Homo-oligomer: A and B are copies of this chain.
């Protein structure tokens, strides 16, 4: 029986961090044995934000692939590919753009939020404005049925499925498949400053590629409870980043509850807590770091080259079906 296809990916705009690990990477390591998994390094989509700073993308590309391999995404099981290497994708975008209206894009909650966050005002780059159509091309090119996403991404999957239905209806075909969002169970990981989600751009994240020393330093700088001065002071658990990270990465849930009670009462110092988190994270990150050290640039390039070749074949098949459905496949006339 054919396995269903799952599509995931990341914009290569920096190394991946613990937020990615807990939010999606760990999940992909499991998913790859359940589904036929495609993992896309979305460099073209990254350009919609970083068009004026493309060197960031080039620098990050292989780092992201190294992160994938280090955490256990197996290039012999998953297909790791680079978006810009799949020439069928932009062509699909051209055909899908006819089936979406500008007002539909403007009303999309995800796009709306991001336009506000980025402060684009009236000067929205057309590439950014159209990226949901580009995502529809990514998803449908591989006939992906399973899309692991966060809740904020749901309107994008909805838009993709609208394109699918409209395409199939307009061209009297069933060649495109609707996709299903697989909601991530974990909420977003806060940054070590406690102020926002861990993010590459805010530099408040612990990266998978950080050295043991750096990880320790970042843990020691974590936001806890500013009113918890002396060990004997009662402390707050809520908003305390060390506890948030323990909740996310430490499996001994009973022990965490005991520590929280003690912290609230007073008598547990931040240093002891941070030492524990350091032990937990170092233990988790060590094999990732060791795997990373064995990866050579040449091997990473080979992985994306092979993966992109394989992905291009699948995407081209879909493109041919799309062209046949529209009726502009003149090769067939030759």
Contacts and interface: CB of A to CB of B under 8 A. Distances in A.
Interface of A: 43-44, 47-48, 51-52, 54-55, 57-58, 61-62, 82, 84-85, 87, 90-91, 93-95, 97-103, 105, 122-130, 133-134, 170-171, 301, 304-305, 323, 326-328, 330, 333-334
A61 B305 contact: no
Given A54-B328, A94-B127, 15 more contacts: A47-B328, A48-B98, A51-B98, A54-B327, A57-B327, A82-B330, A84-B330, A85-B330, A90-B90, A93-B93, A97-B126, A98-B125, A101-B124, A102-B125, A301-B334
A25 B330 CA distance: 24
A126 B103 CA distance: 9
- Number of copies of chain A assembled together: 2
A54 B130 contact: no
Nearest to A124: B102
A99 B330 CA distance: 32
A327 B97 contact: no
By secondary structure, the A interface counts as: helix
Contacts of A170: 51-52
Contact of A99 (B51, B97, B130, B333): B51
Contacts of A95: 47, 51, 127
Contacts of A323: 84
Contacts of A103: 122-124
Contacts of A128: 98
30 contacts: A44-B94, A47-B94, A47-B95, A47-B326, A48-B98, A52-B170, A54-B171, A54-B327, A54-B328, A57-B327, A58-B327, A61-B330, A82-B330, A85-B330, A87-B87, A94-B134, A95-B127, A98-B125, A98-B127, A101-B124, A101-B125, A102-B122, A102-B124, A102-B126, A105-B126, A126-B130, A126-B133, A301-B330, A301-B333, A301-B334
